[in-house]
Amino acid sequence: MTSTPAAHIKSLDHLVLTVTSIPRTTQWYKANLGMKSEQFVSSATPDITCHSLLFGSQKINLHELGKEFEPKASNVKEGSADLCFFTDDDVKDVRRRLIDAGVEMVDLSPEKGIVNRTGARGKLRSVYCRYPDGNLIE
């Protein structure tokens, strides 16, 4: 075993979510989290239209359950993700707007669903909700 890592990772480029409906997923993330969507064709799979959600300098690629393309995760399943996003918006305002939009909230705290957590950049205040496929969104 070598003491030198194969790579020194500096950031996340993208992740893949397996979903039951790309149009529904795209609409939900755009309406509730302000993400942008894109469609593109990869040179690796020119016969497949790919779908992504863009935010900051990252993206989420979307694969529709049963129509995934290779390579893919070994155990493809919708509703198995647990994602945490940063925002500059006030956490109380975010929670209120999600509730007003009819989003399913996960309340873990007596302080109206707002909890203290520790993320990659230190302490943060979080609210939790579920995307319709069951993914947990923080």
Instruction: Tell me how far apart the alpha carbons of residues 92 and 76 are, in angstroms, rounded to a whole number.
Output: 34
Say if CB 125 and CB 115 are below 8 A apart. Answer: yes
Q: Which residues are catalytic?
A: 138
The 3-class SS string of 20-46 reads CCHHHHHHHHHHHHCCEEEEEEECCEE
Cα 48 from Cα 68, distance rounded (Å): 10
Counted residue by residue, the chain has a size of 138
Residue with tokens 């399943």: 77
